[in-house]
A and B are shown apart, each in its own frame.
Chain A
């Protein structure tokens, strides 16, 4: 057994990137993710990597694009406004089918907002954010261990599907500490990159682009991407499910609210209330089948988010038509404590559906 070390979420993520073979990091500082560049500035060069403090987030994402085009594993991290600035680049990555990992330790906006934990950027990450008809692969860690493991996963998925992968976490997941195994669970996958721009001597030229002007070329490209997204949806859903067998109410939450929900669920069960949990670990692909299947039986869903209601819309689309869907949201600056969630559980079980 590998020894577990008390580790901060952001540090686990940064170390995960190194162990995933990321050798290029570009970023511009912003709280609450500064531990990531701080750690990588110190440690990436020790692994032969390159750390560049870029002049802006726009520069960061375009540097990521350059490193990715050459077939290297590259990452940037930021928060709120910085991620907004990167959206054009993320869209280009998706359109040109270039893998990259983008980390958003969320800030509560809109605007400059604050540094309290929040999940206000769900829609931005999951439903575009940049222009065009694309999807990010989106991973949502719920523990320090997952900050490490899912960062490795993000690089693997990004390469496997030649698509940007985003990791989104609230500041609580970024800042708190837990015992963490800082070695990969299994050997990290490195797929061949027969598309990478590595110098054309001795082979046919390669081209990475997102401009398609010929008749139906763009449509063809979009339909091709759609097929890829369908494949991701089919194969890559990750979800944690607890206490569902006898549940009459299912809480659906990711990140910190899912942690809080676990405590609320054990309090509820002590009082004889049958409550279970579905925690999406991938936000795209979203666990639609799991939600449909379990909501058909439990008939009651409570979505808990640290925003005014973003993932709940995807839950409404996924859930069985007969399930009543309740929502409890605490936007940035507020916080859902376990007894708050317990109160919402009781309200939801007391009737009053939407």
Chain B
């Protein structure tokens, strides 16, 4: 098993948070993981992205320019990474911000999700990353809900512990939406 994913968006969308969850869940499952956060000249509110490689074999490159999956939480992320998705790969896009017309590559599987709207329906726009995470779990099939549930406490900083139940609910919602197809 070898799976690489790039998660991208702007600072504050919780990209680092969901990638930390996935990374730790994979490690706990006994898998190898490399975690490459966005690296460069950074500023608050700037771009953020993470490249994760998860494998049951030794991981060579921690960098990927043809990932099996891209999670793009805004239009800039779609612009930057859409062309890189491996053929037949998965492009999870936050359709609350990304026009569907942008998801126009026919050789990949686009999965538009209205992450912000779904999150708001659950009570907080801050849950949008967890909607995307749920969809990722459902489609990538490398980790299950239980794997993530087991590590979320460890990844969540003390001051945010009270958000864990809402986060888990949002992940479940993401799984459900992805299982039913996506938004039209």
Say whether A associates with B: yes
Chain A interfacial positions (CB closer than 8 Å to B): 4, 6, 32, 115-116, 171-172, 175-179, 256, 259-266, 335, 337-339
Q: Could you pull out 27 A-B pairs where Cβ atoms are within 8 angstroms?
A: A6-B24, A6-B33, A6-B35, A115-B40, A172-B36, A172-B39, A172-B63, A175-B36, A176-B34, A176-B36, A177-B23, A177-B36, A178-B34, A179-B33, A259-B60, A259-B61, A260-B60, A260-B63, A262-B58, A265-B60, A266-B60, A337-B61, A338-B60, A338-B61, A338-B64, A339-B65, A339-B66
Chain B interfacial positions (CB closer than 8 Å to A): 20, 23-24, 27, 32-37, 39-41, 58-66
How far, in Å, is A203 (CB) from chain B's closest CB?
51
Pairwise interchain contact A260-B33, C-beta atoms closer than 8 A: no
Residues on B with beta carbons closer than 8 Å to the beta carbon of A335: 63
CA–CA, A30 and B24, complex, Å: 30
Contact A115:B41 (CB < 8 A) given known A177-B35, A339-B66:
yes
Residue of B nearest to A117 (CB): B39
Q: Which of A175, A178, A261, A338 has the most CB of B within 10 A?
A: A178
CA–CA, A337 and B36, complex, Å: 14
Residues on B with beta carbons closer than 8 Å to the beta carbon of A172: 36, 39, 62-63
Contact A177:B34 (CB < 8 A) given known A6-B27, A259-B60:
yes
Pairwise interchain contact A262-B60, C-beta atoms closer than 8 A: yes
Residue of B nearest to A7 (CB): B35
Residues on A with beta carbons closer than 8 Å to the beta carbon of B60: 259-266, 338
Pairwise interchain contact B37-A177, C-beta atoms closer than 8 A: yes
Pairwise interchain contact A179-B32, C-beta atoms closer than 8 A: yes
CA–CA, A198 and B60, complex, Å: 47
Tell me which of B37, B40, B63 contacts A337 (CB under 8 A): B63
Residues on A with beta carbons closer than 8 Å to the beta carbon of B32: 178-179
Classify the secondary structure of A's interface with B. helix
Classify the secondary structure of B's interface with A. loop
Pairwise interchain contact A175-B39, C-beta atoms closer than 8 A: yes
How far, in Å, is B70 (CB) from chain A's closest CB?
16
Pairwise interchain contact B61-A260, C-beta atoms closer than 8 A: yes
Residue of A nearest to B155 (CB): A6
CA–CA, A176 and B32, complex, Å: 14
Residues on A with beta carbons closer than 8 Å to the beta carbon of B65: 337, 339
Residues on B with beta carbons closer than 8 Å to the beta carbon of A337: 61, 63-65
CA–CA, A259 and B112, complex, Å: 33
Residue of B nearest to A337 (CB): B65
How far, in Å, is A33 (CB) from chain B's closest CB?
13
How far, in Å, is A126 (CB) from chain B's closest CB?
24
Contact A4:B63 (CB < 8 A) given known A177-B34, A178-B34, A179-B33:
no
How far, in Å, is A11 (CB) from chain B's closest CB?
13
Pairwise interchain contact A263-B61, C-beta atoms closer than 8 A: yes
Contact A178:B63 (CB < 8 A) given known A6-B27, A115-B41, A171-B39:
no
Residues on B with beta carbons closer than 8 Å to the beta carbon of A339: 65-66
Residues on A with beta carbons closer than 8 Å to the beta carbon of B61: 259-260, 262-264, 337-338
